[in-house]
Structure formats: structure tokens, C-alpha cells
Amino acid sequence: MNEDPEVAAYRAEVEAWFETVATRRSTATEPRIKGKTHEQDLEDLEEARAWQRRLLDAGYAGVHWPKEHGGQGRPARFAAAVEAVRAEFSVPRSPFMVGIDMAGPTLVAHGTPEQQAAWLPGTLSGEHHWCQLFSEPDAGSDLAGLSTRAVRDGDEWVVTGQKVWTSQAHVADLAMLLARTDPDAPKHQGISFFVLDMASPGIEIRPLRQIDGSVHFNEVFLDGVRIPHANLVGAENDGWSVARTTLGAERSAIGGGAQVRVQELIELARACGCEGDPLVRQELARLHTVEQIKRWIGFRMRTAVEHGRRPGPEAMVLKLINSQHVANIAGLAMAIQGAGGLLAPPDAAASGYWHDFFLSHWASRIGGGTDQIQRNVVGERALGLPRDPA
């Protein structure tokens, strides 16, 4: 239930380094969620790239990646220790989760040596910024029902279709793409997995502006986009197997997220003068409990992986727990503020930090699989309940 001595010592080492290069995080000084304009998104990305290079130079980026691919070859619990420390400090939010936690492990597991050499180093340094072209207007929760087509033309594939809810597509340079390569095969067996250069001709990106004014998701239209055959990851028509590696990594990464800590809510309660309210205290205690449960579930998952076992039901429930936890934090933050929660920045508490968090938290209940789909996954795969009708 606790970090082993080796990890605890490593965490202390990482924390000591962070103390020399950054300041402790506090919602009183934390900037609002940015990204209101395309220029701000690009500025944020460059700031994050500079920080990622600094992490890499210090040896704290991708520590769970194999050494031959630029990592430290350490067990996953060491990478989790770095992220836990990172959450304590006011440093640029990393936009590289899709690359480091999803594309990277997928290429390590399924990529050719040439593909790994071409994309992994830049992914770890932040040079490559990835997005995920999976979901479609008629194939979101039922991802295997996708209709984007890829047709072989010599040494290239010609892709036509539409993707939606693509995080960071408007600033990404590489994408993981799922496309149907055999329309006559059963839907899970006719899909292939590609790496796409987002600067390729025939790509149109339409940002989807969210309720908080930022752009995170996008629609992506593909009209005769050509992809080299060398960018096919895994075997032709076996993309679903490759994608399962990506999706498993995505759920774990999202489930282990630490967007806001309960300690920050306690700071807010003190600032609003309601830390003595018994109902507020009870909710804070409940959220603290869930925060610790999430931490322990993460320990169980990493222990299973390090012992060569597939994680059990805990891997299936972690993402669902996290999305509900984020929603409960957002709701309590508004309740603590009372009528003040209706104020717009900069008059809102913490200069609008909680305002933006509340408006943007809904994405965590949709991205990476909706709450409803996650419950289906738990019911069918963990509890053995009958499957939903096809």
C-alpha cells in the first residue's frame, strides 16, 4: 500500500531536482487554462517542448521506456513517481500524453525497427506532437464500426474519411490513424493502423470550440490523403490488435491522471471560509478517500505489469473512477464558492482557475471512452455479464 524504499528514494531525488527548477503548485498562483486562440496553443506547445527537453536532459522523461529507445528502462512505478512529483509543481502541463503514453508503447510493441528509429526519439523529446485519429461521427463508442477507407496504391495508401473529437489535431504533426482496409471482412478484422504526417495534402482540420472558450477537440477530414506503405504499423488488416495496445495505454494514462488534487480544494475551502462546514468537510474526506483508492489501484496495476501479468479488473475501473472523481471535484469546487462560482474571471476565485476547470471537466467523462461504455467494459469483461445486443 506504499512505495517501496527504492521508489521512495527515487521520488525524493526527483522532488529535490524539481525544487531547484520550479515552484510549488498552488491554485492561488496557478494560471487559468489557456488555449483560447491558436497562437496561444502554439505558444503553450513550445513552452511544453522546452520543459520536456529539460526533463529528458535530467533523465526524468519516459523513464519507463526501454533504454534502447531513450528511456531509463525502469519499471512503471518510477515513471508514476515522476508524474506524482510533477503534479506538485507549477510547470507547463504536458500535451505529450498521446505520444509518450500511447503512441510510444504502441510502436515499442508493434513497430518495425525503422519506425521506432524514425519516431520514438522525437516523441520522447517533444519534437513530435501526436494526435489520435480513431473516433468518427458514426463510430465513437463502437470504434470498430469506423468507415474511413484506405485503399492500396502501389507503395502508398489513399485514405478518405472523417474523424472527430481529435485532441490537439490543430497543433499535432503526427497521428495514429485507424482506417478500414478490407470492407468485406468482419469489422474488427478489416482495419489497419497507420502513422500519418499531419502536414500531408488532403487534410482539413476544423477546431471544435468548447464551452470554456478553448480548442481541444477537432474534426479532421481526409480527402485522398496518401500515406507511405512503410507507415503501416503491424500487419495489414490487423490494426485492431495494434489499437488495443493503444486503447489500453490510453485508459491507464487517463485513469491515472491528476488534474486537480484534493489539497487544492482544501485551499479553496479555506479561502472561502467554509473549511469548518461539516458537509464540506465530509465531501472533502470522501474525495480524499477516492484519491487514495485511485493511487492504490495504480499500485496494483503496476505490480501486475512488473510481474509479467495482465492487470485485472482494476485496469477497467480506473478510468471510470477518475472521470467520476474529476466530476465530483468540479461540483464541490462550485458548491464551496456558492454564488461566487457564477463569477467570470478575473473576479472568480483563483483568477478563474476553478471556473475553467468546471467548464472543461466534462471532457474527461467522454474522452477515452464514455462513462457508459466504461461501465459496459466492467460489466462484460470483469463481471462476466451478458454482452449488449449487437
- Would you list the domain boundaries of the chain? 5-94, 130-238, 256-382
> 3-state SS of 38-75?
HHHHHHHHHHHHHHHHHHHHHCCCCCCCCHHHCCCCCC
Determine the pLDDT at residue 30. 58
- 120: cell is 520514438
**Residue 6 appears among annotated catalytic residues:** no
Determine the pLDDT at residue 316. 77
Q: Which amino acid belongs to residue 136?
A: E
- 19: cell is 525544487
Inter-residue contact 127 to 49 (CB < 8 Å): yes
- 132: cell is 489520435
Cβ neighbours around 229 below 10 Å, total? 13
- 244: cell is 488495443
Domain 130-238: assigned CATH number: 2.40.110.10
Determine the pLDDT at residue 251. 58
Determine the pLDDT at residue 304. 77
Class of the domain covering 256-382? mainly alpha
* Residues of the chain below pLDDT 70: 1-2, 27-36, 250-259, 368, 390
Residue (of 173, 148, 11, 18) closest to 81 by Cα position: 11
Among residues 250, 264, 267, 283, the one annotated as catalytic is: 250
Residue (of 331, 262, 342) closest to 294 by Cα position: 262
Inter-residue contact 225 to 202 (CB < 8 Å): yes
Q: Which amino acid belongs to residue 11?
A: R
pLDDT tens figures, 326-379: 999 999 999 999 999 888 877 888 878 888 888 888 888 877 678 888 898 889
What is the DSSP code string of 207-234?
Answer: EEE-TTS-EEEEEEEEEEEEEEGGGEES
Q: How far is CA 9 from the centre of its chain?
A: 27
Determine the pLDDT at residue 35. 54
